[in-house]
């Protein structure tokens, strides 16, 4: 067995002799093709060179990257995916690369270095490696947003197959005719929320066919809900409560937002939202309950239920008008012209005032009537001293009362008596006169007016009037019937 050191010295001596040829490195002349996740072999044959380390690099310049060597240089590590095809072979320094990626594409160089100083002896021309992406199953991409059921949805089949790859679309395992491109325009229906679509790709070179994962059309479809409002009871009185139930039926997808809005835009936060219930056709339903105390201000107001789901630009809205059986006019408004009934509380003051007025009028009328009747029946007349007494042949004696036309209590007093009224005449005593129903004293003579014809006469042309009335100015007199002695 030779000494390693002696052998190395002999090799160096031979290389330093004149006439010894330089080593030759042979690499793959053409491009080497690999497939993603596969493996590839890069050839390197070194001839005419003593045993020395061989190193592999990728690319040149600033992108130069160390890859593999049987004797790595200082501060370098071999790529764990790279190994030598033939271990300890004198001329073959080919390598194998496994688990290829697209980023592994590039130029690979095989180089020979000296043992003592590590200087470069020879370099190959390089081999170009091209790593192709693996032929993977296609992927279906749907639209950015949802479409309303009944409209067309556009699907795209993404594939990394080579040019000329064939596309086949299937819906619910049935082939969709006439669609051979990577896009599909499909008319939808409400029932399609449970339908699936697949895309198949075939490589014309290898005839390999791959199929996509099933795509659910429900991911791209929106089904509009049917919204209704039920009131229990249908009508209430002021300050009573009504229970409003908003029913959203047959909507899709499941995620939904139900809200209540009172007239004027005020959002009602105290509603019971409820839970979704799945229907047999795959759609969903939900109930939301709102309890409202109907005040006077809410009489005739509207309450709206809004249902918003993905795929609808505007929410589905249903309105309900609050029905009040005994609405009252608002404080700043008069009675409703179309209403036959008015609020009793609002009429209390006018009715009371009218009643008082009517009562006063009645009292005045009764008082005037009683005064009129009493004035005709009874009167006590206070008279100034009698100015004159005149007696005629007839059985009549006239006393001129000559009452003053003044409205004061001293000139006239009215006394009431259940039997009769008396005229008080202040004057000379009438002696020896017998007056029926009269009382006499030293100063006063009373004549019962029950037998007196109290009149008021005006002056007649030509002097005294009939019955022996005193002539002259207008007078007021009492006709007293005296019996003669």
Q: How confident is the model at residue 399 (pLDDT cuts 50, 70, 90)?
A: very low
Residue 249's pLDDT is what? 95
Specify the higher pLDDT residue, 143 or 332.
Answer: 143
Specify the higher pLDDT residue, 294 or 64.
Answer: 64
CA distances, 437 to each of 377, 414, 453 (Å): 17, 19, 15
Specify the higher pLDDT residue, 413 or 315.
Answer: 315
Q: How confident is the model at residue 448 (pLDDT cuts 50, 70, 90)?
A: very low
Write the DSSP string, 437-470.
T--B-SSEEEEEGGGEEEEEE-PBTTBS-TTSPP
The tens digit of pLDDT for each residue in 264-321 reads 666 665 677 788 999 999 999 999 999 888 888 888 888 999 999 998 989 999 999 9
- Beta strand 106-113 pairing with 127-132: antiparallel
Residue 351's pLDDT is what? 62
Specify the higher pLDDT residue, 70 or 312.
Answer: 312
Specify the higher pLDDT residue, 51 or 455.
Answer: 51
My answer on whether omega of the bond before 233 falls inside 30° of 0, hence cis, is yes
The tens digit of pLDDT for each residue in 76-126 reads 899 999 999 988 788 899 999 999 999 999 999 999 988 777 788 889 999
Residue 5 has pLDDT above 50, yes or no: no
Q: How confident is the model at residue 48 (pLDDT cuts 50, 70, 90)?
A: confident
Q: How confident is the model at residue 352 (pLDDT cuts 50, 70, 90)?
A: low
Does this model's pTM top 0.75? Answer: no
Which secondary structure element, helix H or strand E, spans residue 230, and what is its range?
A: strand 226-232
Torsion sign across C-alpha atoms 120, 121, 126, 127: negative
Specify the higher pLDDT residue, 434 or 276.
Answer: 276
Residue 159 has pLDDT above 50, yes or no: yes
Extended beta strands in 3-158, E state: 24-27, 32-35, 40-42, 44-47, 54-58, 65-69, 82-84, 95-97, 106-113, 120-123, 127-132, 139-141, 147-148, 152-158
Average pLDDT, the chain: 74
Beta bridge partners of 302: 321
Residue 440's pLDDT is what? 42
Q: How confident is the model at residue 218 (pLDDT cuts 50, 70, 90)?
A: very high
Minimum mean pLDDT among 16-25, 215-224, 409-418: which range?
409-418
Specify the higher pLDDT residue, 158 or 354.
Answer: 158
201-233 b/e (C-beta count within 10 Å ≥ 16 → b): bbbeeeeeebebeebbbbebbbbbbebebebee
Task: Kindly state the average pLDDT of the residues 354-362.
Answer: 78
Torsion sign across C-alpha atoms 230, 235, 238, 240: negative
Q: How confident is the model at residue 57 (pLDDT cuts 50, 70, 90)?
A: very high
Residue 196's pLDDT is what? 96
Tokens found for residue 101: 């990626």
Residue 454's pLDDT is what? 44
**How many Å apart are CA 343 and CA 134, to the nearest integer?**
86
Which DSSP state fits 114? -
């Amino acid at each position: 067995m030779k000494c390693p050191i002696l052998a190395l010295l002999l090799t160096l001596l031979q290389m330093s002799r004149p006439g010894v040829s330089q080593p030759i490195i042979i690499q793959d002349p053409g491009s080497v093709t690999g497939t993603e996740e596969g493996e590839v072999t890069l050839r390197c044959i070194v001839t005419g060179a003593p045993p020395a380390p061989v190193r592999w690099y990728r690319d040149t310049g600033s992108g130069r990257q160390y890859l593999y060597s049987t004797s790595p240089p200082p501060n370098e590590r071999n790529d764990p995916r790279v190994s030598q095809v033939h271990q300890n072979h004198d001329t073959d320094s080919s390598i194998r690369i496994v688990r290829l990626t697209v980023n592994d594409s590039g130029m690979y160089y095989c180089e020979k270095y000296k043992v003592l100083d590590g200087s470069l002896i020879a370099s190959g021309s390089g081999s170009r490696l091209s790593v192709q992406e693996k032929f993977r199953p296609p992927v279906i991409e749907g639209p950015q947003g949802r479409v309303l059921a009944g409209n067309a949805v556009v699907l795209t089949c993404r594939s990394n197959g080579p040019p000329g790859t064939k596309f086949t679309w299937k819906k619910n395992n049935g082939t969709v005719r006439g669609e051979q491109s990577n896009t599909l325009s499909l008319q939808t229906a409400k029932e399609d929320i449970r339908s699936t679509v697949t895309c198949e790709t075939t490589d014309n070179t290898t005839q390999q066919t791959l199929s996509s994962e099933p795509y659910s059309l429900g991911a791209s479809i929106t089904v509009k809900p049917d919204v209704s409002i039920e009131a229990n009871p249908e009508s209430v009185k002021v300050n009573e409560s009504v229970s409003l139930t908003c029913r959203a039926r047959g909507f899709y997808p499941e995620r939904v937002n139900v809200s209540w809005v009172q007239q004027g835009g005020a959002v009602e936060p105290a509603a019971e939202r409820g839970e979704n219930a799945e229907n047999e056709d795959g759609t969903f339903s939900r109930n939301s309950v709102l309890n409202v105390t109907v005040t006077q201000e809410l009489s005739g107001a509207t309450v709206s239920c809004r249902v918003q789901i993905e795929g609808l630009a505007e929410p589905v809205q249903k309105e309900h008008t609050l029905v009040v059986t005994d609405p009252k006019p608002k404080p700043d408004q008069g009675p409703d012209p179309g209403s036959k009934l008015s609020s009793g509380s609002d009429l209390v003051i006018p009715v009371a005032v009218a009643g008082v007025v009517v009562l006063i009028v009645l009292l005045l009328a009764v008082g005037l009537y009683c005064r009129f009747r009493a004035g005709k029946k009874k009167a006590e007349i206070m008279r100034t001293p009698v100015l004159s007494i005149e007696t005629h042949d007839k059985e009549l004696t006239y006393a001129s009362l000559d009452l003053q036309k003044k409205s004061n209590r001293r000139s006239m007093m009215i006394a009431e008596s259940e039997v009769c009224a008396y005229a008080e005449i202040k004057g000379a005593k009438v002696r020896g006169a017998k007056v029926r129903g009269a009382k006499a004293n030293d100063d006063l003579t009373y004549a019962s007016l029950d037998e007196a014809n109290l009149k008021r006469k005006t002056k007649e042309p030509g002097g005294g009037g009939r019955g022996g009335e005193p002539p002259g100015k207008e007078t007021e007199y009492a006709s007293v019937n005296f019996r003669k002695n």
